[in-house]
Structure 1
Amino acid sequence: MTSPVKLYVYDLSNGLAKQLSQQLTGRQIDGIWHTSVVVFGKEVFYGQGINITAPGRSHHGSPLQVLDMGETSLDEGTFNEYLDEMRDHYTADKYHLLEFNCNSFTNDCIGFLTGGSIPGYIKDLPTDFLSTPFGAALRPTIDAMYRRPTPGPIPSQAPAAASPDLASSLLQAVAARAQSDISTVSPGAGLGATQTLAAPIHPSTNPASFNSLLKSHRAVVAFFTSATCPPCRMIEPTFERLAEEKGLTSSGHGRGAAFTKIDLGVGMSGSIAQEWGVRATPTFIFYLDGKKTSEMKGADTNELRTQVDLLLFQAFPPHPHTSISTPAIKAISLDPILFTQVPPLDTVLNKQNSFIDACTPWSAGESQAQAKVVLTSKVVPFLKARFAANKSATTDPVAKANSATLVSWAQTTSTLTQVLPVESIFPLVDMWRLAVLDQDVGQFLATLASSAKEQHPIFAFTAKAQAALNDGSAAAKSRGYILTVLRLLANAFCSKSLALLLLSDGLRGGMTSVAVASLLHQDASVRTAAASLAFNAAAYLQKERVQKVQSGSLLDGESENEDWEVEMVSAIVEALDREKENEEVGMW
């Protein structure tokens, strides 16, 4: 036995839309449609949750139209069970005049009862309205009605061509009639469903509401889930946090994404999943301008955050250039160029000790013997243990830098840079060049910069390199020292804390002087090391910018260290113009 299914259609504007739509929107809109389903002798609709009345006895009065939607072979008990299930999803706080409304509910019900859907002119009305300049201008006002945490006046943002008072009054009347389950609403009274902040996630329970969401939002993140999926429950809190952080309710300036949750066991959500080829949960699909850009399966929270940031970056690039497709440039690795070769450490030590012995008279506070003991008994043993060639990367523990060793090494370095000529300390620089590849050493040097700058090896080495480059007569003798210092500075970029130190006001000037002069050096190996240092600095800054752009913290037109960047670029351009000898230099 079958039962007839009717669709009652009401005009929430009471004829005002038909009279004023052409004037306000430039398009004829015959009504602001509210619908309800009439079956089994009762009228069912969504407003303050799911409501049931006798047909034609709701606060909407008599329907403007009654449409025949066919017949259902389901019994009343099955329909009641369906409604009980839907009550958990169609709650008052989720109601939204454009995104999740009475027509979303009736479309689900019609689909469940008959397999059909409500007429297109009804379910597509929000998209049609928002496509007009007037509708687009009123979008923030409508959103505010469903997202404010406490009762209050609805902000009016109607376009200047229309009356703000008229627009606000019309909106208030439409919203009140849509959600109220009583026959009258006091003017200016807060709407019941807006007394608490609605979640920033739009449920989608049928293809019509989902497609409307895709059409009305630039960026959409869809979460396909199910009640029986444990991984879905694991990642759902992350999805909710992202919706709060990067959704339309909090991002401001229209730069957020619409986050929608599609529970495959609710309404016609299975049809959405089928349309987009979703066969497993959790699945996340990311849409830009209504088109699928990427898909993610599984409960990887880091990947989800990365994909959301990427979507927002594509949808709202901070500068027009960032929207240009540059696959070749994006494929370039931003990992630093490092000089990791481990020299024969005993040979390096003997060379440095011979330079110490040859230095007479010795005027520093630390004796020559003390300096040699630090290097022989502390520094070289640490480097041998830390960078042993035959050490297993998986089974052998990494040797840790002892703080006492590093402190005494820094003090000895301060002494040696004061008493030895520039051509006699490159073995010492080479030891540090290797050591800064260790993150603990990098952290130590970053901390030392704020507490004992006068004993800081990098400050001392950079200052002596500047002096050597400025002294033309010492160019030949200082070549090995300058080359090793450049490699040390390049290696420092493997540590974020050291990279920040090199780019800080205290050291950036010295590093820049050394890099710029070395880019024009007569020796090709020096130029190659300088080019590597310049690349590492540029790559580090680019990584920082990309992260800022993706997080939305880099403002339009914002630039860091503009004068310094111009100086570096000018030096690189001149170096490239001069480079005739070494192809490797030009490649960097």
Structure 2
Amino acid sequence: MASVKLYIYDLSNGLAKQLSAQLTGRQIDGIWHTSIVVYGKEVFYGQGISTTLPGKSHHGQPLQVVDLGETALDEETWEEYLTDMRVHYTADKYHLLDFNCNSFTNDCAGFLTGNSIPSFVKDLPTDFLSTPFGAALRPTIDAMYRRPTPGAPAVAPPPPNQPVAASLLQAVASQAQASPSNSPASPLTATESLAGSLHPCTNSASFHALLRTHRVVVAFFTDPQECPPCRVIAPLFDQLAAEKGIRAATGGRGAAFTKIDLRVGAGQILGLEWGISTTPTFMFFLDGTKIAELKGVDAGELKAQVDLLLFQAYPPHPHSSLSLPAAEALSLEPILFTQVPALDTVLSKFVSFIDAAPSSPTTSQAKEVLRTQVVPYLKARFAAKTSSLPSAVPSLLTSWAAATTALVGALPTDTLFPLVDMWRLAALDLAAAAWLASAPAAGPIGVLVRTARDVLAQPAQAQDKGKRNYLLTVLRLLANAFQTPALGRALLCGGDGATLGTLVPALLHVDAAVRTAAASLAFNAAAGVQRARLATGAGLGGVNERSTKADDADAALATDEEWQIELVSALVEALEREEGEDVVHRLVAALACLLRFMPVDGQVQGLLEVLGARATVQGKLQTTLVQKKEVRMLVEEVASLCPS
């Protein structure tokens, strides 16, 4: 018996950990490269398959070593396997996302031990591509690994944040295929860009691991060397993988496609295990069970079988058959409050409030932070007419947060709204938003929101103009937080529930401007739920958690009905009382997002029946309040989503 280790390296050299939250809205701790260590040798894939002494490759020392278990195979069998694999894992087939070092180590792990490499490593490309930044960067990465053709356009540039994206991409790409001799080489162009959802399997263990970890699997048993029909059907299979695969489908609601070459590795043994007597043969698996098989070249039947398999796995949500043009036309982009006030005037007004309060070293220091750091940053970021927009740095935000805590504790609430308005603008800066998302409850937003909740707990007659302004500005700050999904999720699902505790009573506030801001925040939260449901497949029918590749926070936002129940209840009550058409529009738009793909057997369905929500919504059509055609259509559609 010989021990098998997995060495894990970070191809980004720490850049991913530093920049991922800012670029993608989620934390990615590394762009992982892996190698297999067995029989005193480290084996990895980049410029073909390479072998070194453990820890002596050009990647240096590993960041992490994972024990994959022991192998009963002898070293000679292992070397024979590598010889076969060298035909399969060639330098020209390398692709940073689709066919890389981790594809190789996962295959080897299955052959040696029957285990898989850790999911945080093998699922990283899917997690990355599920972010808007990753999706935007995909064409650039594909172009790097595609052989140029005459007349073809140049390599696509990185998306916005180009200098950051370019440095991260270049660091990863150069490390990924650097030569073992410590002299980095440019990634080799491939003969083609491999389909994103193709998973190589060269042995029984890796194939069974694929069946365990993916709900839907389409397997193509092939012998391209001796089977002309295999070569004929292969391009269609690649196309289906790109169109119907996990990365091409919405948030993991697709199939994992695998090609099994009977001449590579232990492919022939795997073919015998599944009774393969002719090639090409296609097998279709649902939840690990084979449900269909297709032999020979039949393009139409192959497409039909894949579609049928996906339909069985993910039957459409009942609401998907409804005609909802107004709901479908809703933009899920957040409603933002972007107006930039005269910052010098805001500062002057707020300084007068600070000077009127009892003096202390902490308030004096806080005033200095605002004057010398915060307002200059806000003016450069939001007021200056320049193409260069400086982002907030952690040192500034840390000082500003400390100043905020000190001032909230020292000043009357009705004087704090200029301070909140500064944070409202900062929430539009992705760097500041990422920093705020790291500790939403303990950070400055948490302090400000809890104070707003205390204001709402007071009788309406006790809420003077200053407190009303404070509350209004906090709601606008929270609405702006949803420009960065990670911050919006953190405020809604994490912490102490202060955000929801502020939103719910604000929807019923006596002041129309406060209700408008609250309805805007409610829509942003509800739109975030719909985006998360589309990203994870939650509530859309038949989604198995193990097939979902989206972020855990997305899944929590999509499926946590506890706070959604509270929000739906508040929206229905607010809609019943509301007399402003613009606010009604935002309320029903929020309900449309929450109800359109709500879990079929969830608690929200029962709540709507108890509340008599359909009658409440329809009641708005029986008054002269709703005049705009698009609003009336949306009200009618939301009523149809409520149980009768």
- Could you tell me the TM-score, scaled by structure 2's length? 0.45
Q: Which structure has the bigger radius of gyration?
A: 1
- Could you tell me the TM-score, scaled by structure 1's length? 0.49
Higher relative contact order (CA 8 A, sep 6+): 2
